[in-house]
């Protein structure tokens, strides 16, 4: 009996140590990355250089009708908006023609299907950047709406001050329903992580829904040539390639963000996330290790409860790991209320939503092992 008791306590201790390591990893990311992103702010004072806003659109007539006027009504002394009509077969061309007659700052480029040379939107984006008349390019999507009329000025300001890349934030609108909460929390956590990593000197990605950089940098590295055969990656793989090689800035203030309508079906959101995970397999090894540690450390903490099956002596420690972790993460989430405009529903339901996101990501990984995601549109 004494031998079994000693053996059980040793097993329990191993599980507790694993749980403690997971706890340390979680706190490291929360305090060193995520909390750092909550504190960042920026003003639009100083010199403002001309900027070219670039939007790639395929069958986006409804979104262009709704969002393009906001892009064309920015408070900026000198900017243009370039929309690349990427082989659309809906009313996109007609919508752009009508807006071009109304707004002199709008430039339209049309691509025929037979002239496509790259997967996804990389060819369209390359043409848009080549057609830009300004050295600073600001990228967004047709389904994105700027949070203010100062968006273009705020996102391009760091380029005017010497940075070569500006990482912005793009979140999703509030809607009723559980799926909407999942999507908003997923986007928020992703933004906190990549913005915080960049602010910690370890940038690895950005989002094409709100990304600004120097056009000269794009041509200097050869555009997307290193990953032109990959469907996605026009934003994250591009940033991953230039990370550590040039000066980069992060802008998280709410007025310089963009937002869009989230998916209404779980299957559509699931497919969207599959494409994002597929490109992450091409990140640098050190980045992949960090991104893998984050979800694994979540399960490491909960593994501590397995120790209680062998010995109850560690229960205060195990419960302490779980509770202090949630306290810290909820504190960080509360800090996002200002810059990220986080609603209280995400904070109140965070433990349940987080668990479902982790389970969803496991499913995504397994599905992608069996079948690769298809084209972006």
Q: How would you list the strands of the sheet with 170-172, edge to edge? A: 144-146, 258-260, 170-172
In the predicted model, what is the mean pLDDT of residues 292-305?
A: 92
In the predicted model, what is the mean pLDDT of residues 282-301?
A: 91
> Closest by alpha carbon to 108, among 127, 134, 89?
127
pLDDT, residue 371, reads 67
Contact status, residue 282 vs residue 237, Cβ threshold 8 Å: yes
Per-residue model confidence as pLDDT tens digits over 132-151: 999 999 999 999 999 999 99
- 127 CB neighbour count, 10 Å cutoff: 20
Contact status, residue 127 vs residue 209, Cβ threshold 8 Å: no
In the predicted model, what is the mean pLDDT of residues 149-165?
A: 90
Please check the confidence at residue 2 and state whether its pLDDT lies above 50: no
Query: Model confidence at 1, in pLDDT bands (50, 70, 90)?
Result: very low
Q: Say what the pTM is.
A: 0.91
Domains and CATH numbers, the chain: 2-38+286-370 (no CATH), 42-282 (3.90.550.10)
The contacts of residue 13 (CB under 8 Å, 6+ apart) are: 307, 314
Tell which wins on pLDDT, 226 or 71.
71
In the predicted model, what is the mean pLDDT of residues 119-143?
A: 92
Query: Model confidence at 275, in pLDDT bands (50, 70, 90)?
Result: confident
């Amino acid at each position: 009996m004494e031998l079994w008791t000693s053996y059980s306590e040793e097993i329990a201790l191993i599980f507790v140590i694993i749980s403690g390591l997971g706890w340390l990893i979680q706190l490291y990311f929360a305090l060193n990355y995520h909390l750092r992103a909550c504190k960042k702010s920026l003003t639009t004072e100083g010199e403002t250089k001309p900027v070219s806003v670039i939007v790639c659109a395929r069958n986006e007539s409804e979104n262009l009708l709704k969002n393009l006027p906001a892009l064309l009504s920015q408070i900026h002394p000198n900017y243009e908006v370039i929309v690349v009509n990427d082989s659309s077969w809906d009313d996109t061309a007609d919508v752009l023609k009508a807006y071009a007659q109304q707004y002199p700052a709008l430039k339209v480029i049309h691509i025929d299907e037979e002239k496509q040379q790259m997967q996804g939107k990389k060819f369209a984006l390359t043409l848009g950047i080549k057609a830009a008349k300004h050295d600073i390019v600001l990228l967004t999507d047709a389904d994105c709406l700027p949070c203010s009329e100062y968006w273009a000025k705020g996102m391009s300001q760091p380029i005017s001050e010497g940075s070569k890349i500006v990482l912005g934030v793009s979140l999703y609108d509030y809607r009723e329903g559980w799926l909407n909460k999942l999507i908003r929390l997923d986007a928020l956590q992703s933004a906190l992580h990549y913005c915080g990593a960049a602010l910690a000197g370890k940038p690895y990605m950005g989002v094409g829904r709100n990304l600004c950089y120097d056009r000269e940098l794009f041509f200097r590295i050869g555009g997307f040539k290193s990953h032109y055969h990959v469907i996605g990656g026009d934003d994250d793989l591009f940033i991953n390639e230039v990370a550590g090689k040039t000066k980069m800035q992060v802008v998280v203030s709410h007025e310089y963000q963009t937002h869009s309508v989230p998916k209404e079906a779980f299957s559509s959101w699931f497919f969207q996330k599959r494409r994002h995970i597929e490109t992450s397999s091409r990140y640098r090894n050190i980045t992949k290790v960090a991104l893998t540690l984050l979800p694994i450390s979540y399960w490491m903490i909960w593994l501590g409860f397995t120790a209680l099956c062998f010995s109850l002596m560690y229960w205060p420690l195990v419960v302490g790991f779980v509770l202090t972790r949630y306290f810290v993460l909820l504190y960080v989430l509360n800090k996002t209320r200002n810059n990220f405009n986080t609603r209280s529903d995400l904070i109140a339901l965070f433990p349940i939503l987080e668990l479902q996101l982790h389970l969803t990501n496991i499913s995504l990984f397994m599905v992608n092992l069996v079948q690769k995601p298809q084209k972006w549109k």
